[in-house]
Structure 1
Amino acid sequence: RGWAAKREPQRDSVRVPSEQSWKPNAHAAAMTREDKIFALAKGMRGRAKNCYRLAIRRVEKGLQYAYKGRKLKKRVARQEWISQVAAGCREHGIGYSRLIHGMNLARIAINRKMLSTLAQTEPYSFRAIIEEAKASYRTSVLRQPARELPEPTIVPEASASSQVERGWVPKYEGPPLPPYPKRYKNFS
Structure 2
Amino acid sequence: MLEFAPRVAVLTRIGWLGDALTNQLEALGFRARKCREVPNNGFSRSETVLGESTIVTPQVAAMLRQQVVVVLHLSQVRDHADYPVSVQHLDHADDLSRLEHLLMPAKPTATRSPLGRLTTRQREVLERAARGETNAEIAAALVVATGTVKRHLHDVYHALGVRGRSEAAYALRFLTEGGQSNHRAAYGAELFQSVPQRDVSRKRTG
Q: What TM-score bracket applies, with the shorter chain setting the length?
A: under 0.3
**Higher-Rg member (1/2):** 1
Q: TM-score, normalised by structure 2?
A: 0.24
Q: TM-score, normalised by structure 1?
A: 0.25
Q: Write 1 or 2 for the structure with the bigger share of helix.
A: 1
Greater length-normalized contact order (CA 8 Å, ≥ 6 residues apart): 2
Q: Write 1 or 2 for the structure with the bigger share of strand.
A: 2
